[in-house]
Amino acid sequence: MTSTSDLIARTSGSLERPRRLTVVGCGYLGSVHAAAMAVVGHDVVGFDVDADKIARLAKNDPPFYEPGLDELLEAALATGRLRFTSSYDEAAEHGEVHFLCVGTPQRADSNAADTSYVESAVEGLGPLLDRPCLVVGKSTVPVGLAEQVRDRLAEIAPAGAGVRLAWSPEFTREGFAVQDALEPDRVVVGVDRQEDADELGEVLAPVLALGMPYVVVDLATAQLVKNAANAFLATKISFINAMAELCEATGADVVALADAIGHDARIGRRFLQAGLGFGGGCLPKDLRGFMARAEELGVDQALAFLREVDDINLRRRRRAVDMTTELLGGTVEGARVAVLGAAFKPDSDDIRDSPALDVATTLHELGAQVRVTDPKALDNARRSRPGPDYVDDVREAVRDADVVLHLTEWKAFRALDPVELGDLVAHKRILDGRNVLDAAAYAAAGWQVRALGRPNAGR
């Protein structure tokens, strides 16, 4: 991973014509994008309806954990070219180019995406756009929404057809968001007219100068590219987790299998990490939103396989609970269970649809005494999933445990010494839900080891 300072050094100072940009929505995506654009030389206003969020961003106290974001924000704020507001008037007045970075979570009443934040951003900003400008959507949306946004803006903006729309989906990964903002592996933009892609290309010139492809497509394709990318990644993970089920039934080893098929460049080893499966604020809801949209379009059969992808993924969580029960000799009730990991993945404090927390909560509901630890996600976990105990210190979490579950693969957990850990627990039993621990070292230290998709792990 390239360091934040190196990324800043490589992308600053080369901008020919700085623009006045606004970034509407300062969550995981927007805050990083706003800071990145200021660092490369633009004059940026970040907008969010949440006044507390922007107050914290303005003093470089981000409301969430993202490696490198503090350094990026500090550099951006130091330029004097980044400020925050919760006034649509100020945002509209400022921007020559407006980026829409609001969230599109799953709707509470269905699998479809909730696009209300996009709609309210359009309704808030649109009537104030009285000069020609470019609006660039970055949110993940059901295909067809961009065209609706374009038409609605033309209708409600005083500048009318002078307000142009492009859609440039982001492929930012939490934990790597700074790198993905300043050096993404590609930039995709959907436009009606090449001039709009050229304009966005000028805005992003310092980033594009690092040499990644700039892919210009139509609006529908741009929206679908994002849906397809996340659906493919989810499918890849569920494919290897389906193989894990086969491995469990046959005595085979899914890690060795993934290594072996991964040598084939057509397949590749990345995103073939078998384990508890995918969670987070993106893959699960994007998968479901994509299926819901396909149904509306009358092509639900084309994505019927994604239902299976979702099911395989959720089955892994149940399997982890079953394996824990087996390790405990058949009874969960009253058992002391230590859970390492609450975040949906390492280097994040995001607990949205976290597989680790799902397993922890299920075991708690089954009557276990569950103690969860995580380097960054405990506050979020406590707030959203009361029930288990949440403790800061790993040693405290595992003390007197009857079983230890490794469910989010933070570096700090991987570095734990099985001998030292063994002295703290009541019973040396461990489930590796992410297949990254050294099973042989744990077994050598006297642990009974189980791992998803590796029936002979440590033996």
Q: Any idea which residues carry the catalytic annotation?
A: 282
Q: Name the helix (H) or strand (E) containing 137.
A: strand 133-137
Please state the separation of Cα 221 from the chain's center in Å.
22
In this chain, which of 170, 349, 374, 402 binds ligand UGA, going by CB under 6 A? 170
Least separation in angstroms between CB 170 and ligand UGA: 6
Closest CA to 403 of 379, 382, 422: 422
CB 107, CB 114: distance < 8 Å: yes
Closest CA to 157 of 116, 191, 121, 114: 121
Task: Name which of residues 18 to 77 contact ligand UGA (CB under 6 A).
Answer: none
Its sign, for the CA torsion 136, 138, 144, 145, is negative
Task: Name which of residues 378 to 437 contact ligand UGA (CB under 6 A).
Answer: none
CA 46, CA 77: separation in Å to the nearest integer? Answer: 12
In this chain, which of 275, 341, 418, 433 binds ligand UGA, going by CB under 6 A? 275
Verify binding: residue 233, ligand UGA, rule CB under 6 A.
Answer: yes
* CB closer to ligand UGA, 269 vs 399: 269
Measured from the Cβ of residue 409, the count of other Cβ atoms closer than 10 Å reads 23
E strands in 294-413: 336-340, 369-373, 389-390, 403-406
Stretch that binds ligand UGA, among 91-99, 141-149, 166-174, 384-392 (CB under 6 A): 166-174
Task: Name which of residues 128 to 147 contact ligand UGA (CB under 6 A).
Answer: 140
Helix (H, G, I), strand (E, B) or coil at 220: helix
Verify binding: residue 277, ligand UGA, rule CB under 6 A.
Answer: yes
Per-residue contact flags (x/-) with ligand UGA for residues 339 to 358, judged by CB under 6 A: -----xx-------------
In this chain, which of 282, 363, 377, 401 binds ligand UGA, going by CB under 6 A? 282
Stretch that binds ligand UGA, among 73-81, 170-178, 289-297, 374-382 (CB under 6 A): 170-178
Burial class (CB in 10 A: 0-12, 13-18, 19+), 393: exposed
CB 409, CB 415: distance < 8 Å: no
In this chain, which of 104, 106, 168, 172 binds ligand UGA, going by CB under 6 A? 172
Verify binding: residue 171, ligand UGA, rule CB under 6 A.
Answer: yes
E strands in 295-408: 336-340, 369-373, 389-390, 403-406
Stretch that binds ligand UGA, among 1-9, 84-92, 209-217, 266-274 (CB under 6 A): 266-274
Least separation in angstroms between CB 43 and ligand UGA: 26
Per-residue contact flags (x/-) with ligand UGA for residues 70 to 109, judged by CB under 6 A: ----------------------------------------
Please give the residue ranges that form the binding site for ligand UGA (CB under 6 A). Answer: 140, 170-174, 230, 233, 237, 271-273, 275, 277-280, 282-283, 286, 344-345
